[in-house]
A = this chain, B = another copy of it.
């Protein structure tokens, strides 16, 4: 247990943790949140929805320390899982043995069983409570929420958590606020539940608090009920790679207090910190990072989503959500009839990695290592951008957080518009140019993502963007990829 690599000085994450022990950045209002305050936020669907009687009834028996003969729940005996090692190896410390040895087939069986152990809910050596304990301690270390009745639970990945969040808070016909460009999965989830989106403008310090306030102050209810949810990706925003400054977060929280908003803080890039690039008066992000909404929130109106996808592995389908306990109860109730749990082999992988091997310090050390790696990759991409991209057409802001680079192209330089606007819809013409550039890039062997895919509203936008990432390609391919893509842009803009 404990730190695996204690030699290194504490990285930015631990610095942040220490700075947060003095919560000088928090808002003044210390309203005690309660489930009553939140009641009006719940959708028709989620309002009356609670946990299941069967699970409650079966947990009665498992809470006592007495041995129970299980004739109740229909969960097969572990001896009938083809991966289980044996009934005896219930302890987690035997897992590493289990994966290094082939097992003898159980006597009655005669079947070859694969040497992978699957945990069961009835194991004594490991259970969800232990895993949650790690999660709870992690949230306390990093975000140290200021109100007492917060809670956290595992989710089957952030995409699943987002769908559940929108089902908890949105009715059909509702309108959700969000950064003008955002994660397409969110756009789909909001559309699925029958809600629409209202774009909030962005500047270099993130979503505009002034714009947000204006939308809400002047809300015309003939458009639908006044929004009650602001969805935001505050760090290394996908796709624009902006990170909200502390001041901006405080301003947005003020608007949220005034207009009674739930803030969904979708923060998968929080721990990916390539290091500061940002300059100018707008930025107050220190090398220690910037406090989360969860940290700043005193009311319990923030629903924070964390993900393992960007910091451990994307295929795990595992994340966690932290919020007011009455919101977490809703999440658990929804999960009970949908995802049920993070798959047990993955729970086990996480448990062994985080709790058994790394501990908190080891995890933070891994995150610092990742950030250093992303710094190298980001700087390579920035260097290639400066070297190869046509600078009279392309602009970009070097990112402090995350894994994306958001390229803006000046469409006015395109031959089609050089002598003023051409006929037809500008927006449609821009989509055509965007598509041409993508096709040229794919033909040349580079995959990039069209900016238009991230538009949260269907209103035409007179902008032309591409999103690039420095997370996926090999280091040498990063430079090569940007060089090729620069060529595709030049071709479309007929610059040689």
Query: Which residues in A have some Cβ–Cβ distance to B below 8 Å?
Result: 4-5, 44-45, 49, 52-54, 57-58, 60-61, 64, 66-78, 80-84, 99-100, 108-112, 114-116, 118-121, 156-157, 159-160, 162-163, 172, 184-185, 188-189, 191-194, 238, 309-310, 312-318, 334, 336-347, 349, 352-353, 357, 365-366, 369-370, 373, 403-404, 438, 442, 445-450, 453, 467-474, 477-478, 480-482, 484-485
Contacts and interface: CB of A to CB of B under 8 A. Distances in A.
Contacts of A353: 82-83, 114
Nearest to A158: B340
Contacts of A185: 52, 54, 336-337
A54 to B, nearest CB: 4
Given A82-B366, A156-B156, A343 B316 contact: yes
B82 A99 contact: no
A185 B365 CA distance: 41
Contacts of A338: 159-160, 163, 189, 338-339
A289 to B, nearest CB: 19
25 contacts: A53-B453, A67-B445, A69-B477, A69-B481, A71-B448, A71-B478, A71-B481, A71-B482, A73-B469, A73-B472, A76-B472, A84-B313, A99-B99, A99-B116, A118-B313, A118-B315, A119-B315, A157-B339, A157-B340, A159-B337, A160-B338, A160-B340, A313-B344, A317-B340, A346-B346
Given A77-B471, A82-B353, A116-B349, 13 more contacts: A5-B110, A45-B172, A67-B445, A69-B473, A72-B467, A74-B469, A76-B314, A84-B313, A156-B343, A188-B336, A317-B344, A338-B338, A338-B339
Q: Which of A44, A309, A315, A482 has the most CB of B within 10 A?
A: A315
A128 to B, nearest CB: 11
Contacts of A156: 156, 317, 339, 343
